[in-house]
């Protein structure tokens, strides 16, 4: 039987904005809508190479710094890493002609140079999540000399798979040219509804789970923070969206080694840095078939795959993330970096 007093308390909590992005940071670089955050540490860094987190363009940056106790960023800082975050910002109508080439050949090289100067390191490690991982792959293939280590978290590479996203994006069903020509930027409402339709009943059953767990404060706080992040979506620059859908989803050029940016081929075999590829076995956004092929295409001799049971967001903020992904990522990075007792 529903406890109306507790239900009323739950509604009160849900009407208050959750405490998101709790790790202290400061902005060290801006370009157009983009910001780069540097996370503060109470102690001197233990490792020399800075870690730059590259996010997807579809959602806000703070999923990996979601809330206290569910922050991969905070965990990395506590382990002694210099952590930097790419916040792509919120595109507006003036950004509809910003291209994927702008992101890979302009924004990322510029911010990597800034992070290198700021940290005093000639190279950076990259951690890319979802679409951000695909972008980090492209950057690492074009600028391999600047990348010391590469971590891919639920990263799509082979876009010819049986996922609903891949099916819906097929040119038979989706005229991306007409879509972008009509809308300019890819609207938030369309992007949100697309991902909601992957699990349409989840939008109802999630509230059933919330009611069943309303006595569990951790569950409630995590639910509210994650739900806030899901609804805090952003549009994607039209020309960037056009290229990503046509050349990745519809033509699968990255896997075929025929993807080009500015006339230059993006060949994953040019990546020679150590690579950690983290897959979620029950990922409905980036199925294992899409992610696992990365290590076959990358040229590095130091390649590690980490398969984790769970879904797309479970490997970033779920129990498997806290118990497996976070500590194994830190151990992997620590083995491949030099300690810096003196700090910076």
Q: Using N-to-C axis directions, what is the helix angle for 4-14 and 202-212, rounded to 10°?
A: 120
Cα torsion 323, 325, 328, 329: sign: negative
Strands 260-261 and 264-265: antiparallel
> In this structure, are residues 124 and 47 in contact, taking their beta carbons and an 8 Å threshold?
no
> In this structure, are residues 156 and 290 in contact, taking their beta carbons and an 8 Å threshold?
yes
d(CA 300, CA 87): 28
- For residue 130, indicate whether it is catalytic: yes
DSSP 94-154: GGTT--HHHIIIIIHHHHHHHHHHHHT-S-EEEEEETHHHHHHHHHHHH-GGGEEEEEEES
Nearest to 278 by CA among 234, 232, 318: 318
- For residue 248, indicate whether it is catalytic: no
d(CA 313, CA 153): 10
From the candidates 65, 95, 130, 248, give the one annotated as an active-site residue. 130
Lookup result for tokens 């800082």? 77
d(CA 74, CA 85): 12
From the candidates 248, 283, 313, 337, give the one annotated as an active-site residue. 283
Q: Length of the chain in residues, anyone?
A: 344
d(CA 330, CA 288): 22
Q: Which residues are catalytic?
A: 130, 283, 312
């Amino acid at each position: 039987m529903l406890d109306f007093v507790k239900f009323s308390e739950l509604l009160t909590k849900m009407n208050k904005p959750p405490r998101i992005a709790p790790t202290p940071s400061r902005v060290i670089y801006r370009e157009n809508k983009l910001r780069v955050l540097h996370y503060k540490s109470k102690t001197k860094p233990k490792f020399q190479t800075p870690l730059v987190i590259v996010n997807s363009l579809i959602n806000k940056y703070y999923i990996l710094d979601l809330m206290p106790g569910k922050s991969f960023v905070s965990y990395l800082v506590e382990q002694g890493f210099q952590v930097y975050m790419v916040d792509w910002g919120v595109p507006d109508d003036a950004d509809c002609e910003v291209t994927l080439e702008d992101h890979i050949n302009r924004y990322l090289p510029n911010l990597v140079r800034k992070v290198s100067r700021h940290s005093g390191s000639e190279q950076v490690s990259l951690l890319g999540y979802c679409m951000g991982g695909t972008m980090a792959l492209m950057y690492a293939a074009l600028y391999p000399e600047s990348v010391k280590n590469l971590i891919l978290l639920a990263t799509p590479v082979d876009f010819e798979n049986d996922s609903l996203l891949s099916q819906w994006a097929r040119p038979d069903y989706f005229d991306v040219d007409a879509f972008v020509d009509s809308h300019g930027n890819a609207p938030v409402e369309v992007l949100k509804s697309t991902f909601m339709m992957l699990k349409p009943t989840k939008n109802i059953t999630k509230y059933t789970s919330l009611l069943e767990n309303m006595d569990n404060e951790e569950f409630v706080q995590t639910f509210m923070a994650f739900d806030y992040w899901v609804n805090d979506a952003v549009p994607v620059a039209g020309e960037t969206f056009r290229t990503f859908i046509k050349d990745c989803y519809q033509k699968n050029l990255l896997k075929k080694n025929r993807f080009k940016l500015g006339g230059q081929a993006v060949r994953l075999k040019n990546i020679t840095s150590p690579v950690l590829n983290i897959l979620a076995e029950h990922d409905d956004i980036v199925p294992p078939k899409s992610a696992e092929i990365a290590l076959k295409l990358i040229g590095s001799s130091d390649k590690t795959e980490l398969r984790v049971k769970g879904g797309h967001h479970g490997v970033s903020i779920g129990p498997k993330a806290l118990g497996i992904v976070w500590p194994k990522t830190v151990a992997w990075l620590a083995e491949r970096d030099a300690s810096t007792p003196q700090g910076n």
